[in-house]
Amino acid sequence: MTAIPKAAHAFIAGAVVGAVVCAAPAVTAPDVGWTAVVLLAGLYAACEMPARFRPGHSAPVGAGSFFPVLLAAAFLLPAPAAALVPVPGALLGPAGRPSPGARRAWHAAQLALSTWAAAQAYRLSGGERSLTAPDFPHVLVPALAGALAFWLVLGALDGGIRTTAEHLPPRRAGRALLPASPAPYCVHGLAGLMMAVLWRSSYGAVSALVVLLPMYVSSWMFAQYHRERAAHQATIRALVQAVDIKDRYTRGHSERVGRASVLIARELRMADERLELLRFAGILHDVGKLGVPTRILRKEGPLTPDERRVIELHPEYGHEMVRGIGFLGEARSAILHHHERLDGSGYPYGLAGDLIPEFARVVAVADAFDAMTSTRSYRRARPVAAALEELERCAGTQFDPRMVTALARALEREGWETAVTSDEASPADPAAPADSASPEDPEGPAGPAVPAVRAREETPGAPRRVRTG
């Protein structure tokens, strides 16, 4: 269990101090409306508390589903008083480990600052008088301004804590500080405006609870989605761990192929819903190795023709294993076809060109790239630049040039951390040659050009075991 880094603790302390400074004027300010503060704070805490008693959840299950309560507070109360509303719910709600106290303090400070910012933006946009005699659609302008301020501050603070907690490099840190899409927060703002209007209406505060019914339904759906997603992730993890245990020479390879596949897909501007499926495709591309005898996977020295034919069955084995897992969708085609080649000389079906599914063409490039840039017990890694040169050399015959170009562009922007698999060989170890990794052996697709020094003739997916000098 990893402790929260000191930089993240300092960031949390700064957020807490900022929240206290923003909320402090409420203590001495006249006409704060403490009744509304207590009711809204109690309502928000009541909405968030059930998540604490749901087993297996370290963060609020309904996180985001009850933001309309906080935005209603921002529209109804002065900014310092509005900042107090999320505090009880955040402090009493669920928290992950390690340091649950620090996490609760962070959650409270983050929401307090975001609510304070929303209230300030709402009033600066002329919203203070809009609730007494709502004039639609003009009343929407200050409400949306408040929602956008809430979104910006919440996203920036979230990016800040991620940057300090995960020690992100400057390039990634800048992107982490950019919040996600504002669209959901605009919807929360409209729901919060409905609550505030009903609260101030002749029907009274109780009528505002009507707005929470769809919010609670959305919370339940949110929880269901995340439970289902957690089950999917557990299924993937179990399969990958089984492959890593069986083939120790490529341990960690699957996760990296998934990551490289997503880099390519983002560069190609694939739809967001396809990114997760493509990551699954990369992670599970070699799951069919579970059907290959361990003695063949770990064999030292050349494979016999019969053993090579068995190795070449692993995409079909993998496809059979996952064909009943509905959530994988088109990821299953990548598992089956990631060893097809653009010129039609690959396997299992010898597909060529655009007949090879797009996911399979992405995973083929990611697979070869990681194999070449990973140090293994039987050879050293190639530098990233050399691996890209080799991919470009084989583009058009073995690999889709679009995928190779996309990977090169993504790596120029994102960088890549090379890896050492289990049974590591030190890069300085002269017994671990650097020449033998190539697209012909990504664990490697057999290619038309044979490297100058090869330990043995291999087929795609058959890891090389013999060190060469």
The neighbouring-strand residues paired with 395 are 399
Segment 339-383, tens digit of pLDDT = 999 999 999 999 999 999 999 999 999 999 998 888 765 567 788
pLDDT at residue 54, as a whole number: 46
> Tokens 């960031």 label which residue?
11
Alpha-carbon distances of 378 from 19, 305, 374, 383, rounded to whole Å: 55, 22, 11, 16
Is pLDDT of 148 > 90? yes
- Residue-level pLDDT at 397: 93
Q: Give yes or no: residues 262 and 150 share one domain.
A: no
Same domain, 200 and 261: no
Specify the pLDDT at position 168: 66
Q: Is residue 400 part of a domain?
A: yes
Least confident range from 204-213, 232-241, 350-359: namely 204-213
pLDDT tens figures, 80-118: 999 999 999 888 877 767 778 888 899 999 999 999 999
301: in domain: yes
Show the CA angle centred on residue 376, arms to residues 450 and 402, nearest 5°: 55
Are 220 and 313 in a shared domain? no
d(CA 357, CA 55): 40
Q: Confirm whether 37 is domain-assigned.
A: yes
pLDDT confidence band for 248 (50 / 70 / 90): low
Same domain, 405 and 365: yes
pLDDT value for 200: 80
Pair 188, 291 in one domain: no
Helix axes 100-124, 6-23, angle to 10 degrees: 40
- Same domain for 141 and 40? yes
Mean pLDDT over residues 34-42, rounded?
89
- For residue 219, the model assigns a pLDDT of 62
Domain end (from 420, 436, 451): 420
Whole-angstrom distance, CA of residue 77 vs CA of residue 98: 35
pLDDT-derived band of residue 48, with 50, 70 and 90 as boundaries? confident
What per-residue confidence (pLDDT) applies to 313?
92
What was the pLDDT predicted at 402? 95
329 and 184 share one domain = no
Asked if residue 259 is part of any domain, the answer here is yes
User: Average pLDDT of 76-83?
Assistant: 93
Using pLDDT thresholds of 50, 70 and 90, give the confidence band for residue 32.
confident
Which DSSP letter does residue 374 get?
E
| Alpha helices (runs of H) in 247-284, residue ranges in sequence order | 253-267, 272-284
Q: Is 166 in the same domain as 283?
A: no
| CATH code: domain of residue 394 | 1.10.3210.10
For residues 292 and 252, membership in a common domain is answered with yes
Residue 65 is predicted with a pLDDT of: 64
Q: Is residue 107 part of a domain?
A: yes
Q: Which residue has the tokens 């995960």?
A: 166
The percent of residues in the chain predicted with pLDDT above 70, rounded, is 75
Residue 144 sits in the same domain as residue 252 = no
Task: Please count the CA atoms within 13 angstroms of the CA of 333 that sit on its side-chain side.
Answer: 13
Q: What are the pLDDT digits (tens) for 384-441?
A: 999 999 999 999 999 999 999 999 999 988 888 765 544 444 343 433 344 444 444 4
Res. 137: pLDDT tops 80? no
In a domain, 52, yes or no: yes
275 and 187, same domain (yes or no): no
Q: How many domains are there within the chain?
A: 2
Can you give the residue range of the structural domain that contains 314?
248-420
Average per-residue pLDDT for the chain: 78
Nearest in space to 284 (alpha carbons), one of 363, 399, 171, 195: 363
- For residues 304 and 205, membership in a common domain is answered with no
Which secondary structure element, helix H or strand E, spans residue 164, and what is its range?
helix 140-166
Residues near 347 by beta carbon (within 8 Å), at least 6 away in sequence: 312, 315, 339, 340, 459, 460
Mean of the pLDDT values across residues 274-292? 89
pLDDT beyond 90 at 145 = yes
- Return the higher-pLDDT residue of 28 and 417: 28
For residue 351, being part of any structural domain is answered with yes
Question: Which residue is associated with the tokens 């083939």?
Answer: 247
Is position 430 within any domain?
Answer: no
